Amino acid sequence: MEKTRPILYGVADYAQIRKKNAWFVDRTAKIRDLEQTAYVVFLRPRRFGKSLLTAILEAYYDVACAERFDALFSGTDIGGDPTDERNSYLVLSFDFSAVEKSPETAQQSFSTHVCGRIDAFARKYAERIGEASASRILAARNSTDKMNVLFDEMKGTKNPIYVIIDEYDNFTNTILAESGEAAYEMLCHGGGFFKQFFGVLKSLTTSLDAPLKRLFITGVSPVTMDDVTSGFNIGTNISLDPVFADFTGFRHDDLRAITDYYAAHCGFDAERAYDTAIRWYGNYRFGSASAPSVANTTVVLSLFSYLWRTKQFPNELIDENLRTDYAKIRHLVTADRRLNGNFHVLETLLAGGQLTERLVKSFQARELTKKENFTSLLYWLGITTITGESFGKTTFGIPNETLKELAAKMIPAAYSDVYKIDERVFDINDGLCDFAEKGEWKGFVGILSQIVKENFAVRDAVDGEKVVQSTLVALLVAAGGPYFVKHEREAGGGFYDIALEPQLLRWPEIAHAALIEMKYVKAGDPAPTPEQLEKIKEQAIVQLDQYSADPALVAEWHIGEAGVPPATGTTGVPPVALHRLVLVFHGGDCVLSEEV
C-alpha cells in the first residue's frame, strides 16, 4: 500500500519537504514571472507561506545548490523548464523574525543577526569570492561595515548577489504594537539603525558595477517599508499584482486535492473537512475582487495534520499563533483610554458590514489614525479581504470565521481598557452555552442589554440604532460560544437583524438557535407606550414569520418545530428548536425583550 504523504506543519525547510515527499503545492511556474522584476517586495498576512517561498527561491537561485537541482525540483513546473538564471547567484538571506522584539535589545540583536548571516555567506562562498575577500568580510566589526565591505569586495566580479529578506517588519510591528510609536520611530526614522540598513541596501543597487542584482523582501504591511525608505523607490511591490494573487496560499482546488487525498487515506468526512477549511481559513482575495480565492496555508496544514494524526476533527479551529499575532494590534482601537474611530470600523465589520475605502499601498505608522489607512492596514494584516470594487474604491469584508473571531477579541479588549467590562463577555459566553443546551435566552440578553445601556451613555447618539446593533453583534461575536453570529443576512426575501446559527459541524448536540429582530426608538423621542410597543412587536412578528419560513435556513440549521424540545429524528441528529426574539430599544435602554 502507498505510504501516506506526511504533512510538515510549520516547516519552511523546502529541502526537507521534498526529501520526505511531504504535501506541497507547486507555485514554481511563477518564478518565470518574478524574474521580470529585479527588486521585489511581496506582502502577505502571517502564516501564509512566505518563509517557504523564500526557501524555494534560495534553493532555485543559489549556485551552491546546482548539483541538487534535480532532487529539489524534479516534478515541479520550473524543474521541467528552468530559466537561464537558475543556480547562478550567491544568495545572502536574512530572517528578521529572529530579531529580538524589545526596544532595548533590538539594535544589538539585529546587528548580531546581520553579522551572522554575512559571516555565513563569506564562509560558504570563500572559494568563489577568494579567501582574502572572505577574510576582510569576516574581520569587519559591525553590520554596516560588513555590508559595505561585502559589496565593495564583490564589485566588478562575476559573482552576482541575490539578497532575500524574510519577515522584514516582524520585530518592528511588535515594537510598534507593544512599545508605542515613539520607540518604533527610533528604529525607522532619522538615524535609526533599521533605516540605516535600508539606506545601505538602496545604495548597493545604484552603481553600474553593483553586485546586488536581485532582491526579494517579504513582510506583512507596507508601513515599516514606507517609514524606513520613504516608499523604497528602488523596489517594486508586487503584492497587488494579479499575476501573484495566488503566489502563496491554497486555492480552493488545492483544498479539494488535499481533502480528497487525506480523506481517502485516513477515513474522515471529506465534505466536512473541505467546508471547514474554506469557512474557517479561506476566502482571501489579494489585489482585486476577481482574484482567485485562497486559504491560509499554514492553518490549513494544521487542520489536515490533526485529521491525519487523529482521524477526528479538532474542537479548537483557531491556530494559537494567530491569536498571538492579532492580539498585538489591540492598541489601534483605543487612545488615551477612549475608543477611537478605528474601534467603530471594527464594530461595523463584526456586525456583518463592509468597508469601502481607497486601498492605500503606502503609509507611515504616524498616519494610522486616518480611517482609510487603518482600513487598508486591516487588509494588509489579513483581517479583511477584498470583496468588491467601484469607482476607484475597494470594498473590504472579513474573509472567514477565524478572522471574525480574532478581530472580535479586540472588542472586549478595548471595552476592558476603557470600561472594565471584559469579565461580562465570559458571562455572555456562559449564557450562550446555556441557551444552546436548554433554550434559556434571558441570561445573555440581559447582560447584553445592560452593557448597551452603559456604553450608549458615553457614545455619540446620532447613529443610535447603528450603535446598538453593532454593539450587540460585536459582543456576541467576541463572547465566542457555539454559534455563528450573523447580521443583516437574507432569508425569506428579507434581511434579518441578528441570528445565532448553530455550529452543528462542530457541536451536533446544539439544541437551540435564535433569530433576533431589533427595533429602535430614538433616544430623543418619548418612551413608547404599551400600545406602541405592541404594534412594534406585531411588525417584528411579521418579519420573523418571513425569515423563519425560509427553506434554506430551516434545512441548513436543521430546524424542528419552533420552541419544542428536540427529539432525535430519523437521521440520528436532533432537530434544532428555533427561538424568535424581539428586542426593542429606546436609545440605549432595552424596553422590551420577548420570545414570539
pLDDT computed for residue 538 by the predictor: 95
Shared-domain flag, residues 404 and 434: no
Shared-domain flag, residues 436 and 548: yes
Instruction: Fill in the amino acid letter for 581.
Output: L
Shared-domain flag, residues 462 and 334: no
Determine the average pLDDT of the residues in 495-500.
93
Percent of the chain with pLDDT over 70: 89
**From edge to edge, which strands make up the β-sheet containing 39-43?**
90-95, 161-166, 212-219, 39-43, 236-237
DSSP 84: T
- The three three-digit cell numbers of residue 6, written as one number: 506526511
SS3 352: coil
**Helices of type H across 328-441:** 341-350, 371-381, 401-408, 410-419, 422-438
Shared-domain flag, residues 223 and 94: yes
Shared-domain flag, residues 412 and 480: no
For residue 143, is it within any domain?
A: yes
pLDDT computed for residue 90 by the predictor: 97
The residue from 225, 244, 263 where one domain ends is 244
Note the pTM of the prediction, 2 decimals.
0.80
Q: What does the mean pLDDT of the chain come to?
A: 87
Shared-domain flag, residues 366 and 439: no
For residue 251, is it within any domain?
A: no
Range in 34-43, 436-445, 475-484 the model is least confident about: 475-484
For residue 180, is it within any domain?
A: yes
CATH at 371: 1.10.10
| pLDDT level of residue 355 (50, 70, 90 thresholds) | confident
Which distant-in-sequence residues (6+ apart) come within 8 Å of 337 by Cβ?
Answer: 417, 418
Dist CA 14 CA 27 (whole Å) = 13
Per-residue CA distances from 485 to 330, 470, 499, 502 (Å)? 21, 12, 6, 9
For residue 298, is it within any domain?
A: no
Shared-domain flag, residues 181 and 37: yes
The residue from 244, 271, 298 where one domain ends is 244
Determine the average pLDDT of the residues in 334-344.
61
Per-residue CA distances from 46 to 51, 55, 220, 235 (Å)? 10, 16, 7, 21
The residue from 420, 449, 481 where one domain ends is 420
- Answer for the pair 202, 151: CB distance below 8 angstroms, yes or no: no
Shared-domain flag, residues 432 and 567: yes
Question: Where in the sequence is the domain holding 171, given as residue range(s)?
Answer: 26-244
Shared-domain flag, residues 91 and 171: yes
For residue 308, is it within any domain?
A: no
Shared-domain flag, residues 454 and 403: no
For residue 13, is it within any domain?
A: no
For residue 87, is it within any domain?
A: yes
pLDDT computed for residue 566 by the predictor: 46
SS3 568: coil
pLDDT digits (tens, 9 = 90+) for 256-315: 999 999 999 988 999 999 999 999 999 999 999 999 999 999 999 999 999 999 999 988
Per-residue CA distances from 275 to 7, 270, 292, 480 (Å)? 20, 9, 17, 20
Shared-domain flag, residues 577 and 470: yes
| Total number of residues shown for the chain | 596
| pLDDT level of residue 571 (50, 70, 90 thresholds) | very low
Q: How many domains does the chain have?
A: 3
- The three three-digit cell numbers of residue 254, written as one number: 488545492
- Answer for the pair 468, 488: CB distance below 8 angstroms, yes or no: no
CATH at 163: 3.40.50
| pLDDT level of residue 569 (50, 70, 90 thresholds) | very low
Shared-domain flag, residues 336 and 465: no
pLDDT at 200 over 90: no
pLDDT computed for residue 562 by the predictor: 46
For residue 276, is it within any domain?
A: no
- HSE-up of residue 23 (Cα within 13 Å, Cβ side): 24
Question: Among all chains, which residue has been given the C-alpha cell 456604553?
Answer: 455
**Helices of type H across 192-296:** 193-203, 223-229, 252-266, 270-281
DSSP 107: H
